[in-house]
Amino acid sequence: MISLAYAQEAAAAVAQPSFFDYLPLIALFIAIWFLMLRPQMKRAKEHKLLVDGLQKGDEVVTQGGIAGRILKVGEVYVTVEISSGVETIVQKNAITLALPKGTLKEAR
């Protein structure tokens, strides 16, 4: 009437994760670094050099596409002459491109 109780077999040992288990994750991080993060940091560094090097008389283009010549350079803002007698105040960070000297004379 009473059934015999047999001991269960011991569970198989769990394998410890090895370096090769993390290899796809490491490869993904390296790919993201070279394809996204590194170029973005390079672009930010170039923009900072551009903004720090702004001088009176430089011809620039803003983020909004307005082209003009710098009249005054302040700590945060620059005054840009869009047309003769038309001036606007722009944040330094809003300047995206420095044009070669004489570019605006040709365009006007």
Chain segment 3-35, per-residue pLDDT in tens: 776 767 766 667 787 888 899 999 999 999 999
| CATH number, domain 55-108 | 2.30.30.60
Residue 56: what pLDDT? Answer: 95
Query: Checking phi first, is residue 58 left (phi over 0); if not, alpha (psi -120 to 50) or beta?
Result: beta
pLDDT at 91 over 60: yes
pTM of the predicted model, to two decimals?
0.71
Q: Which pLDDT band holds residue 106 (cuts at 50, 70, 90)? A: low
Q: Could you tell me the CA-to-CA distances from 56 to 21, 66, 83, 105 in Å, in that order? A: 58, 17, 16, 16
Range from 3-7, 79-83, 99-103 carrying the lowest mean pLDDT: 3-7
How do the domains of the chain map onto residue ranges?
Answer: 20-52, 55-108
DSSP-derived pairing of the beta strands 95-99 and 86-91: unpaired
Chain segment 60-69, per-residue pLDDT in tens? 999 999 999 9
